[in-house]
Amino acid sequence: MDIIAQLFAGLSLGSVLLLAALGLSLTFGQMGVINMAHGEFMMAGAYTAFVVQGVVGDAGVSLLLALPLGFVVGGLLGLLLEATLIHRMYRRPLDTLLVTWGVALVLQQVARDVFGAPNVDVRAPAWLSGAVQIGGLALPRTRLFILTLAIVCVVALALALRATPLGRRIRAVVQNRDLAEASGISSRATDRVTFFIGSGLAGVAGVALTLLGSIGPTLGTNYIVDAFLVVVAGGIGQIKGTVIAATALGLMQSFFEYSTTASVAKVLVFVTIVAFLQLRPQGLVSVRTRSLA
């Protein structure tokens, strides 16, 4: 029984990591942008849920409204950042890292000024309170909701990339920017859309996080490193890898925690990933191609 409980805890943690990392698998994995403000886009999504609840009142309705709105808020922040700063430094990852880190700090301060430094709470809707009982095991409804949301987001993103004109365009620009331009495709416009979607997913993740506890201006800092780890371990540019890595990290953390403590588990997970990347620097899932182009 214990094992199943740990398994569920791990999957649940994995789904949170996955939501945090999914957008990064686009902006970092596909576009190669190290956006340290990704966590703050999550934070913005969380505060979007807070504001919407203040306006709407009903927790259920506000959650369902906040998910798409969080996407738009995160997406617009990303778009703004891309259009003003990031696009100037596409070939300079270190500059991007420093600048977006600065932006992250600014966004945290803005949140502090607008919403105050103390954490705030977003009420979960009644239909997500309590737990589902399965054979003596209590699975919290909020956790099940986040698990489902993560699956929905992954499937939606995978389908959008695989089967829509926009998805084709994004993949083409990522693979060969010059060739895309020389085929009549605007790479700048495509970059903006890609960044919008990736940042929007951070917003959705932020909304989901309000179900797990109170939120504050530094919410994003708790997730940013793990999210990058997931994308790197999964294999850059591969959604499949991101899914596997997030799940594996969640499970590892959960099972290590079971036998040690949370912070020791964290260290163990970190060491495992570093060791794994020594053996397989390209990550779990790597690209199969004959020529680079």
Partner 1 sequence: MLELSGVTTGYGRTMVVHDVDLTVPDGALTAVLGHNGAGKTTLLRAVLGLLPVRGGTVRLAGEDVTALAPHKRVRRGIAYVPQGQQSFGQLSARENLQVVADAHGRAGRRRTDEALDLFPALRELLGRQAGLLSGGQRQQLAIARALVTGPRLLVLDEPVEGIQPNVVTEIYDAISTLTAAGSLSVLLVEQHIGYAVEHAAEFAVLTSGRVAHRGQGGGEGASADARKALAL
The answer to whether 66 and 52 have CB atoms below 8 angstroms apart is yes
Is 92 a residue that touches partner 1 (CB under 8 A)?
no
The region of 125-133, 164-172, 193-201, 256-264 touching partner 1 under the rule CB under 8 A is 164-172
User: Exposed, middle or buried, 132 (CB in 10 Å: 0-12/13-18/19+)?
Assistant: exposed
The answer to whether 284 and 235 have CB atoms below 8 angstroms apart is yes
- Cβ closer to partner 1: 136 or 288? 288
Question: Rg of the Cα trace of the chain?
Answer: 19
Cα(36)–Cα(59) distance, integer angstroms: 31
Type of residue found at 202: A
The region of 90-98, 161-169, 211-219, 250-258 touching partner 1 under the rule CB under 8 A is 161-169
B/e letters for 144-175, b = 16+ CB within 10 Å, e = fewer, are: bbbbebbeebbeebeeebeeeeebebbbbbbe
Is 138 a residue that touches partner 1 (CB under 8 A)?
no
Six-digit token string for 287: 């690209």
Give the residues across from 23 on adjacent strands.
none
- Which member of 87, 171, 192, 240 binds partner 1 (CB under 8 A)? 171
Closest separation in Å from C-beta 167 to partner 1: 10
- Cβ closer to partner 1: 30 or 53? 30
Tell me how many helices (H) and strands (E) the chain has: 11, 2
- Cβ closer to partner 1: 136 or 165? 165
268-287 footprint of partner 1 as x/- string (CB under 8 A): -------------------x
- Cβ closer to partner 1: 151 or 168? 168
CA atoms in the 13 A half-sphere facing the CB of 210: 32
Closest separation in Å from C-beta 178 to partner 1: 5
- Which member of 56, 115, 175, 277 binds partner 1 (CB under 8 A)? 175
Interactions with partner 1, residue window 181-220 (CB under 8 A): 181-188
Q: At what angle do helices 165-175 and 187-209 cross, to 10 degrees?
A: 110
Closest separation in Å from C-beta 88 to partner 1: 16
- Cβ closer to partner 1: 176 or 222? 176
- Cβ closer to partner 1: 133 or 183? 183
Is 259 a residue that touches partner 1 (CB under 8 A)?
no
Type of residue found at 224: I
Is 95 a residue that touches partner 1 (CB under 8 A)?
no
How many binding residues for partner 1 (CB under 8 A)?
25
Cα(73)–Cα(265) distance, integer angstroms: 34
Is 91 a residue that touches partner 1 (CB under 8 A)?
no
The answer to whether 224 and 36 have CB atoms below 8 angstroms apart is yes
* Residues forming the site for partner 1 (CB under 8 A): 165, 168-169, 171-172, 175-176, 178-188, 287-293
